[in-house]
Each structure stands twice: as C-alpha cells, then as structure tokens.
Amino acid sequence: MSNILRETVKGIDLIPIDDALLEESQIFLVGEINPETANELIKKLMYIDKKDLGEVTIYINSPGGEVMSGLAVYDYIKIMKSPVKTVCIGDAASMAAIIFLAGEKREMLPHSRILIHDPSYGHLDVSGKKPHEIQRGVDSLNKVRETLAEIISEKTGKSLDDIYEITAEDHYFTADEAIEFGLANNIFKGE
C-alpha cells in the first residue's frame, strides 16, 4: 500500500494514500465486485456522506462481479445526500458498468471502456437438478436481466427493447461511443 507524508500538529505522519483520498471524497472501485468489496465501498460512501464533504468521486476499474453486491452499491449511491460522480479509469465491465451508471455525473478517461451485457449463471452447476429447479433459476436470472436493463434504459434514455438487443451479447463502448449512447456524460479532464 502506498503512503504519503503529511505534516500534522504531532509532526510528520505516514498516511495511507487511500485514507488521504477518502478525506477528499475520492474512492476507488478496483477489481472484482463481491460481498466484501461492496461492503467496503459502502462503508466508505457512508463515511463520506455523513461527513458531508460535498461531491464524491468514485474511480472505477473493475471487471464486474456478483450482481447482488453490485446492486447494493448502486442502491446505496442512489440514496446518498452527497452528489456522486463516477469516473471510468480503465474498464467498467458488467456490474461495474451498472455502478458507473449510479453517478449523477459519469465521466471516462479517453481510452477507457464500458462493457454491458445480459447477466449469466456464472459458475452455477445445473447437473443433477430437476427441470423445475432449473426453471426457477432461469426465472430468477430473467428478473435480474429486467432490473439491469431498466437501469441502463433509465440512464441512457434508450428503450428497453434497444437495451435487450444490445445486451444480448457482450458490447464494449469506447469513451466516445459511451457518450454517444448515453452511458457517460463526457471525457474526464481532471479535478
């Protein structure tokens, strides 16, 4: 972990850079989204929101991950009193793209990209399952698909049919394409 030197009334302290950025309302979502990373991100968001430090910036470079964990982060961002800006600094793929869409302002570095697609079963093993058990899983997956499509549709202004068509397969957007499609607002120019 990187540290920075900070002069305090007690002298010079070594402070983790993540802590220094947190005090400036800047946090990172990097790596896979799972219950642990989602909870850690939500705790940071709670801390910043309680401090009422102004706009929060979330920098995202993530391959995505577990849907319910990602939706928990999305939902928490939507109820925050602080305005949230999301910045794609590499890949915002899958559930990371959904979290990216939670920002009131959504910006991308020029060479970053967003991936949206339908949810998948992932590594779920259906061997030994009865047809009605498999159907229940498919029905549940389709409900998740509807939820994600509604989020994308709301944020982009595109129809649900358009979203279902484009998410049927993996679809990558460059920064310019994401802005044109309505996923992002503009290119990030720095703070």
94 classed as catalytic: yes
Q: Are 77 and 105 in contact (CB under 8 A)?
A: no
Catalytic-labelled residue, pool 94, 111, 120, 123: 94
Q: Of these residues, 25, 62, 112, 117, which one is catalytic? A: 117
| Torsion angle of the four alpha carbons 62, 66, 69, 73, in this order, in degrees rounded to the nearest 10 | 30
Q: Can you tell me the distance from the alpha carbon of 17 to that of 48, in angstroms, rounded to the nearest whole number?
A: 16
Residue 25 annotated as catalytic = no
Task: Kindly provide the b/e burial profile for residues 32-69, where b requires at least 16 CB atoms within 10 angstroms of the residue's own CB.
Answer: ebeeebbeebbebbeebbeeeeeebbbbbbbbbbbbeb
Q: Which residues are catalytic?
A: 94, 117
